Structure 1
Amino acid sequence: MPFSVPQELLDEILDNLAGDFRSLKACSLASSTMVARTRSHLFKMCHLSARHLLAFRDLLRSPNCTFIPHVRSIQAYRYSSSSEDRYFNEVAEDLRRLTNVRVLQVILNIVLDASNVDDYLLRGFFAAFPHTTRFVLLCGFGTKSFAVPLIRTLCMFPALEELQLRDTSTWRVEAAPAGVIPPPKLRSVVLTMDTNGPILAWMHVTGHLPNLSSVHLALVKLRQGPTVRAALQELGGALRHLDIEVTFTPGNYWAPSANVFDLALHPNLQTLVIRDHSDTSLSTPTR
């Protein structure tokens, strides 16, 4: 028996069930009029791991695959200790079919070295999502033995608007290659520890800092203090939100002085957050 409820009202009801996957699945089986809307919620985010990646690839290749336009967010888990991790690069061409993906979150539990860094950051998997507007990178392991090409990785997302780099404290980020500019629509950044200085320096050189509307800096290293101080002076009228995590414990972390914050430079600032993470565990200089 066909539904007599107007489609707009039916869609609103289904939107209120977002997150209730059991109910959404039941609704998708109840009537063809609810299939498209339920799928827009059921397949909004896909979680990818090496163990299930080939099965996911086979679904994408199927002529009967109907969920592709509904996938808007990818969360990927990568482990260099897994022999199946190579699948991420091998299925990259198939993942390119997910053209509506706008959010990419990647958890890297890897040990980078000079022999594998390009495979993890500059080829294959990351190159499959050029339409990403929000990129979140979390790293469980890393290296300081060489400069990680993080800046070139970010340039693989030309439509990027929001960047979050978390738990990358063991990375030594490369200097920006000549002529490489930030994604033009990038407005929001969350940086931490060893990524603060190089990313801000890159944005300073390219003149991108005045475009930022939201900046979150976590645990700025002492050697990065001058770079961060200069960046704060360059942020201008576009800035709406500023969040800085500092430690006033002597050691390897920068503690900004009062004259660093000239609020007159940010007339449109709406929120200012300064978090004190002073702790004896942070007082030992890091090499």
Structure 2
Amino acid sequence: MTFELRGVSVRHTAAAAGPAALQDLTLSIAQGEQLALIGPSGAGKTTLLHTLACAHRPDAGQFTLFGDAPWAAGDVRRRALRARLFLAPQTPPLPPRQRVVTAVLAGRLPHWSLWQALASLVKPADPESAYAALARFNLQDKLYARVDRLSGGERQRCSMARLLVSRAEAFLVDEPLSALDPALAVQALGVLQEEASARKATLVCSLHQVDLARAHFPRIVGVRAGRIVFDAAREAVTDEMIATLYRHSDRGAPAESVPEAPATPSLITRCF
């Protein structure tokens, strides 16, 4: 089992007086599974991804990662567990003056010594791998461009190219398609899923595009107000379930997915 949560609650320190961001949440994700997280804005999807990545320590409950309890382990052991993950946030924190090739190769930082990391800043260690990763997202011509010259969508794809050069066994990807047009969104999602399948890696992806989640992921977890509303195979997820998940939220489900529902919606890239 890659991830296992039992009765997990997470409270942000800045919101001590309000409800917990995750409340009594139980979820198991096997190695190699591909799972989509959906739900309205503020539902807790990002908090859940960061909890899986050991960026948030649960306030209650049990959490195991690759069969180990990361928060019961020492710092060295926890860093080793984190190195087996790749967390890509919705807005990648890419250094603006950095070259794209260097930003992509940062996906290998968890497995480099300090000397290797510094040396790669001066002379990229493996530009061929960075080029190949960028090519899968049609960005190979940006290899030596500066990050601050990229569009928002190009930055998102650059972050996903970084994932490809990592050695991660589990990919945690937060809203990777938010800045992409529909054709690029489908292409990028396909690359992520192909890479996960080839490595037998676990893929957990939060999406606002409910239609893409239902079309491409075998398992869908609906999250609302810090709780799991449903956890089901995509064939079992109905329009009524989606409509209920988004009902009375600030941003409902996309109209094309659920016609009767309201309209909806580091470290470096948390690459530990």
TM-score, scaled to structure 2:
0.33
Question: Does 1 or 2 have the higher relative contact order (CA < 8 Å, sep 6+)?
Answer: 2
TM-score, scaled to structure 1:
0.32
Bigger Rg, structure 1 or 2: 1
